[in-house]
Chain A
C-alpha cells in the first residue's frame, strides 16, 4: 500500500500542553484518531490541514514534504465538527465554493454541483440556506463541498458529535458506503470508541498529546499495549489471582451456579436489551460480567455464583 500521508515526529507545544505524534495513513484507508477530549486529536487534524503550523517535524503527502505549504495549496479537504457551512451562501453555493475559485465555466460548475448533490442525496435542498437544513443534511453538504474539489485526503473532525443517536447510526453506514465508493483516504477524529471501531481500518489511540497505540479495532480491543488503551476501549475487569493481575473483558467471564475458579455474590443485574450486565461482588473487588439476557434470567441479586474465564484469557495480560 502507498503511504498517502506521513506525520514525522510532529511536535506542537503550548504553555500547558504539548503534542508529539508520528503516524502513517495508507492510500484508501480510513484511519481514526481516537481519544478523550483534550487529547490533542483535533489539533493534529488542523496541523495536517495546515491551519496550525507544527513547531517541528514533517508532514509528507504522496512522498512530498508539505510542512511549509499553505493550506489552500495542500489539496486536503476537511469536514468540521459543526460543518462550518457558510451561513451567507445557499447549499448550492456552498458546494460550488471551491470550484468557483478555479475559474471554471458556470456550466461546468453546475454540472459538477448537481452530480455531487445527487451522489450525496441532497439535490432537493440546493436552494436552501444552511440554517434551515437538518444536521444529517448539513453533514452531506459538508462532504459534498469538500469532495467536489477532489482532494487527495479528507479530514473529518467529529462529524457525528452534534447529531442524535438514531441519525448517527444511519450516517455511520452512509459514511462507510461513501468511503468504499470514493476510495479516498480519510483521517477521522472522534472521541467515541464505538464509532472508531465501527468505521476504521486502523485506529490511532491518543491520550494527553501522545499516541498510545496504533492498530486495528481487534488489535486495540484484544491486545491493548498500555493501561490507558486497556481502560479506554471497552470495559475491563482487573482480577488478582495467585499474585498476578488478570485483565478480563466482561464477555469473557462465564457464570455458573455450580462450579468455577472464583466464588462471588450477585450484587445487581443491569438489563441492556439482548445483553445484560451482572455485577458480582468478590472478596475485595467488584467485577462486571456480560452475557445474553436469556442466559442469565435464572440469576438473582443475592445469589452466590461461580466464575470462570474463557480459555484464551490467560495468554493476554
Chain B
C-alpha cells in the first residue's frame, strides 16, 4: 500500500498524492472534518465521563461493580448496532419524534440525525464508558492523602482540584482522551450511517476513493497519512497508560461514603447513573423492541423475523440468510483460534527480556492504530497478485485476526508474564515433556484469560464491518454486512430483527466476559 501511495502509475517515486491531500479542496475538507469531529467528540466524551468517574471512584453503592463492567459493552458492541439504535430512537420516524408528534401534536419531526451534532452525540455515547473506566480506575487508585496534604498547606477546594487532583489524573485524562480521539478519528460506520451524505471522515473517503473511483493511489495516500497520525496517538496512549498502571492503589484517609449519605449527591448521582444505564442499554433495548413491532402499525409481530429467514431478501444480500449466519460464525471461530494462537506465541516470546522489547510490544499493538479500512485496502493491493486470493475468504479472515490480535495479546501477555516458571519446571520434574506440560499446566493456568481473549476476539470478528465491507464478495456476507444492507435500504424492521439477534449474541458475550474476567486487569 505504501508503494501505491508513493509511486506514479508508471512506477516512479512521487509525493504528489500527498500534496493532493492538502491541495485538493475535498480532501482538505475531509481531513479537517475528521480532526474536528474527533477532537470535539473526545472533548464531550471527557466532559460526560468525568462526573461518572468521580461517582464510581468516590462512593459505595449497590450494583457498582456491575455498572463498571457494563462499560465493557461498547468495546464489543458493534457500531452498526448503536447506529441502528439511534435511528430507531431519534430518527424522523423514531420513537422520540413519534412520541412528540403523538403527545404534543408536533407537525414536523425534529431532524436530529444526519447532522454534525448527531455524529458527536453517537460518538459521545459510544465512547464515554472508556473515560468512565480509565479515569474512574485511576481516580480510585489515587489516595486522598495528596488532597489532604494540599489542604493542610492552605489550599481551597478549587485550588486542590486544579493543582493536585487534575495533575494526579493527568495521565489517565490524556490516555482516555487519546483513545477516544483515536476511535472517533477512525470512525467509519457511524459516519456512514448517521452522518449521511454530507459528512466523510478520512476513513470513509478512503473507502469512497476505492469503491466509487477505484482510486488506489489517493486512498493509499490518505490511509498512510491517517495511519501515521493514529500511530502517534496510540503511542501516546500506550506510553501514558503505562504511567496510569504504575500508580498503585493506596489507602484512603476518609473511607468512601455510601452514596446515600448526602441527599444532594444522591440526587445528582441517581440522575447521572440512570442516564448512563439508559444510554448503554437503550440502543440495544430499542432494537430488540422494534424487532417485534410492525413498522407501520406498531403492533406486535413476528413478521420481521419470518421475512429474515425467508427468501425475500436473497436479492439484497446476494446469498441466503442462513449462509450469512454461518459465515459470521465461521469467521468468528477461525479468528478466535488464530488470534489466541498468535497471542499465546507472542506472550511466550515476550517472556524473555531483550533489547527493544517495549518497542516490539508497541509494534504488536499496531493493529489498534491501523484502521480496518486501511488494512482492507492494503490487502486488496497485496492479495490481487501474483495469485488472486480475493475470491477466497482468506483476506477477511486475516483482517479479522489482525484486528482481534491486540485484544488477545493484552489479555494474555500480563498473565503469561506474571506466571512463575516454577509450575512448568515442577511438571517437567514430574516427568511431563514440555509439550505435555503445555496442555497439562500452561493451558490450565491461563484458562480464564484464554476464555476472555476468545470472547473478545469472537465478538470483534462477529461485529467487524469496515474491513469486511471492503473485502467481501456476496458469498461471504456476514451479519454486519447484511445489517448494513437492510439499513441502507431502509428496511428498519428487518434490520431490527437481525440487530436483535446480534444484540443477544453480544449480551451473551458480555455475560461471559463478566463471569471470567472479573477483577482482572483491563484489556483496553
A residues touching B (Cβ–Cβ < 8 Å)?
Answer: 46, 49-52, 70-78, 80, 82, 84, 86-89, 97-98, 101-102, 145-146, 149, 151
Residues from chain B with a CB closer than 8 A to the CB of A49 are 148, 152
State whether the Cβ of B36 lies closer than 8 Å to any Cβ in chain A: no
Q: Which 4 A-B pairs have the closest CB atoms?
A: A98-B153, A84-B145, A88-B167, A71-B151
Residues from chain A with a CB closer than 8 A to the CB of B170 are 88
Nearest CB on B from A79, distance (A): 9
Residues from chain B with a CB closer than 8 A to the CB of A71 are 148, 151-152
Nearest CB on B from A260, distance (A): 52
State whether the Cβ of B253 lies closer than 8 Å to any Cβ in chain A: yes
Residues from chain A with a CB closer than 8 A to the CB of B254 are 46, 51-52
Q: Are A72 and B155 in contact (CB under 8 A)?
A: yes
> In the docked arrangement, what's the CA distance between A87 and B148, Å?
14
State whether the Cβ of B394 lies closer than 8 Å to any Cβ in chain A: no
New A-B pairs, 19, CB < 8 Å, besides A50-B151, A72-B151, A101-B153: A49-B148, A49-B152, A50-B152, A51-B148, A70-B151, A72-B153, A77-B153, A78-B148, A84-B143, A84-B145, A84-B149, A86-B150, A86-B168, A88-B167, A97-B150, A97-B163, A146-B152, A149-B153, A149-B154
Q: Are A88 and B168 in contact (CB under 8 A)?
A: yes
- Select B253's contact among A52, A74, A89, beta carbons within 8 Å: A52
Residues from chain A with a CB closer than 8 A to the CB of B164 are 86
Instruction: Write out, one digit per residue, whether chain B residues 146-183 have a CB within 8 A of any chain A CB (1) or not (0).
Output: 10111111111001100110011010000000000000
Q: Are B145 and A97 in contact (CB under 8 A)?
A: no
B residues touching A (Cβ–Cβ < 8 Å)?
Answer: 143, 145-146, 148-156, 159-160, 163-164, 167-168, 170, 250, 253-254
Nearest CB on B from A186, distance (A): 14
Nearest CB on B from A30, distance (A): 19
A/B interface sample: 12 pairs, CB < 8 A: A51-B148, A52-B253, A71-B152, A74-B152, A78-B148, A84-B149, A86-B146, A86-B149, A86-B164, A86-B168, A101-B163, A146-B152
Q: Are A101 and B155 in contact (CB under 8 A)?
A: yes
Q: Are A101 and B167 in contact (CB under 8 A)?
A: no
> In the docked arrangement, what's the CA distance between A77 and B152, Å?
6
> In the docked arrangement, what's the CA distance between A52 and B154, Å?
16
Nearest CB on A from B32, distance (A): 34
> In the docked arrangement, what's the CA distance between A307 and B193, Å?
95
Residues from chain B with a CB closer than 8 A to the CB of A52 are 253-254
Q: Are B153 and A84 in contact (CB under 8 A)?
A: no
> In the docked arrangement, what's the CA distance between A149 and B150, Å?
12
Q: Are A78 and B149 in contact (CB under 8 A)?
A: yes
Residues from chain A with a CB closer than 8 A to the CB of B168 are 86-88
Q: Are A78 and B152 in contact (CB under 8 A)?
A: yes
Q: Are B151 and A51 in contact (CB under 8 A)?
A: yes
Residues from chain B with a CB closer than 8 A to the CB of A146 are 152-153
> In the docked arrangement, what's the CA distance between A82 and B151, Å?
17
Nearest CB on B from A236, distance (A): 34
Q: Are A80 and B145 in contact (CB under 8 A)?
A: yes
Residues from chain B with a CB closer than 8 A to the CB of A80 are 145, 149
> In the docked arrangement, what's the CA distance between A101 and B159, Å?
8
Highest count of chain A CB atoms <10 Å: which of B149, B156, B167, B254 = B149
Residues from chain A with a CB closer than 8 A to the CB of B149 are 78, 80, 84, 86
